[in-house]
Amino acid sequence: MRTDNLIERERRMTALCGLAIVAAVTSFAVAACTSVAAQDDPAPSTADQPAGGPPGVQDGVLPEKTSAFDTARPGIAKLDPALLKAVQQAETAMKKDGITMQVTTGWRSKRYQQELLDKAIFKYGSRKKALEFVSTPDDSHHVTGHAVDIGPTDADDWIIRKGARFGLCQTLSNEMWHFELATTPGGECPPMS
Ligand SMILES: [Zn+2]
C-alpha cells in the first residue's frame, strides 16, 4: 500500500508539472505573439513627434478670422515686415469693396511645417507625392515669413485681380490662396510656378 501511494503521488506530481510546462509555454507564446503584433502595428508612432504636443499659436497656428492687423499673434508678427504691410494695405482696400479677408496662415515654425508635411505623406502615401502639395521646412516660404494664405475665395479673387498694386502676387498656380510679395507696388506679377 505504501509503495502504491508513493507511486500515485509521483504520477500526480509528474502530471502537474507537465501542465505547468504547457501553461508556461503557452503564456510565453502568447507573450511572443503580443510583442510581434505590437511591432507590426501600422498605426503611426508618436515617438517621432516633437515634445510639447501639436503645433500651437507659438508655431504660427492662427484662429478663424485672423486679420493682418492681429500682430499679437506670432503667425502675423513674424511675417516679413514688407509683406505684412502689403497684406494690411490689401485688407484695408478690399474692405472698402465690401470684402472681409482673413489670414489663414502666415508665418509657420519649422515644426508646424514638418507636421503638415508628415500629414501629407500619411494622406498621399509617399513623400514624393506629398511634396507636390507641401514644402519641406527648409523650402517653405511660410517658414521664412515670405508667404501668406488668404481666405475666403472672394478675398483671394480680389488679390489676384488687384493685389499687384501692393506688390502681392499669386505665386503657385495650384494655390489660389497663396500670396507673396513678388513685384514692386503697381508692377506686374511674374509667371507662376
Ligand atoms: Zn501658402
pLDDT in the model for residue 79: 98
Q: Residue 76 is inside which H or E element, if any?
A: helix 74-77
Nearest to 155 by CA among 105, 93, 106, 107: 93
Give 1 Cα–ligand 1 centroid separation in angstroms.
93
Give 31 Cα–ligand 1 centroid separation in angstroms.
48
Say which amino acid occupies 108: R
pLDDT in the model for residue 53: 87
**Averaged pLDDT of the chain:** 82
The domain ranges of the chain are 1-38, 57-107+145-193, 109-141
Give 46 Cα–ligand 1 centroid separation in angstroms.
27
Give 43 Cα–ligand 1 centroid separation in angstroms.
29
pTM comes to 0.72
> Cis before residue 152, ω within 30 degrees of 0?
yes
What b/e sequence results for 156-183 when a residue is b if at least 16 CB atoms lie within 10 Å of its CB, and e otherwise? bebbbeebbebbbbbbeeeeebbbbbbb
pLDDT in the model for residue 51: 56
Mean pLDDT of 139-163: 98
CA dist 29 and 175 (Å) reads: 54
Say which amino acid occupies 151: G
Task: Assess whether pLDDT exceeds 50 at residue 114.
Answer: yes
pLDDT in the model for residue 193: 87
Mean pLDDT of 171-186: 96
Other C-beta atoms closer than 10 Å to the C-beta of 97 total 10
Task: Assess whether pLDDT exceeds 70 at residue 42.
Answer: no
Give 154 Cα–ligand 1 centroid separation in angstroms.
17
pLDDT in the model for residue 16: 46
Give 175 Cα–ligand 1 centroid separation in angstroms.
7
Joined grid coordinates for residue 64: 478663424
Please identify every residue whose CB atom is under 5 Å from ligand 1, which is an ion.
147, 149, 178
Mean pLDDT of 113-122: 97
Q: Which CATH number fits domain 57-107+145-193: 3.40.50.620, 3.30.1380.10, 3.40.140.10, 3.40.50.1950?
A: 3.30.1380.10
